[in-house]
């Protein structure tokens, strides 16, 4: 029997106190780059593959930020999200499935965005508390 929990690896990519968020085609919600690991694929390899596919950049150092749980924005199922601080080489460009990239700052009042629940409720407040993003 397969587990009813979605496991995802997510990249927190930060540049000049801003967090990179992506919006997939056909959706209105901004989420982190990343995705589900293939069977037998390590989280680090999953993250490198997904970030390359979605942003057309190479992945450098990955630092584990933590495990966050909640409900998936799209599948409406329980989710375990392994979040890593990820350094990239190159200028991110929308790749597979991605319609839009933004650099999010909590201190920018013009950004009234729908953000996936785990990042909105847990990851972004943690990054702000660690003074990694504004």
Task: Note whether 98 and 56 are within 8 A (CB).
Answer: no
Averaged over 87-114, what is the pLDDT?
Answer: 90
Averaged over 28-57, what is the pLDDT?
Answer: 96
- Report how far apart, in Å, the C-alpha atoms of 33 and of each of 1, 84, 85, 95, 114 are: 29, 11, 11, 11, 15
pLDDT of 1 over the 70 cut: no
Averaged over 48-55, what is the pLDDT?
Answer: 96
Tokens coding 93: 């460009």
Tokens coding 84: 């890593």
- Sketch out the chain's domains with CATH numbers: 6-129 (3.90.79.10)
Q: How far apart are CA 30 and CA 1, in angstroms?
A: 32
Q: How far apart are CA 134 and CA 132, in angstroms?
A: 7
Q: For residue 112, what pLDDT is reported?
A: 75
Task: Note whether 59 and 47 are within 8 A (CB).
Answer: yes
The model's pTM: 0.92
pLDDT of 123 over the 80 cut: yes
Instruction: Report the Cα 133 to chain-centroid distance in Å.
Output: 14
> Could you report the per-residue pLDDT of 58-93, keeping only the tens digit for each?
999 999 999 999 988 777 889 999 999 999 999 999
- Report how far apart, in Å, the C-alpha atoms of 19 and of each of 40, 75, 85, 88, 126 are: 29, 24, 10, 13, 12
């Amino acid at each position: 029997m397969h587990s009813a929990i979605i496991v995802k690896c997510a990249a927190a990519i930060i540049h000049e106190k801003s967090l990179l968020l992506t919006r997939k085609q056909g959706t209105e919600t901004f989420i982190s780059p990343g995705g589900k690991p293939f069977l037998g694929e390590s989280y680090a390899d999953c993250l490198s593959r997904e970030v390359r596919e979605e942003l057309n950049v190479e992945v450098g150092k990955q630092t584990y930020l933590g495990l966050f749980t909640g409900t998936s924005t799209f599948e409406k199922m329980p989710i375990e999200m392994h979040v890593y601080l990820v350094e990239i080489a190159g200028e991110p460009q929308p790749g597979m499935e991605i319609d839009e990239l933004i650099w999010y700052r909590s201190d920018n009042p013009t950004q009234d965005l729908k953000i996936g629940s785990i990042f909105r409720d847990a990851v972004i407040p943690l990054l702000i508390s660690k003074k990694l993003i504004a």
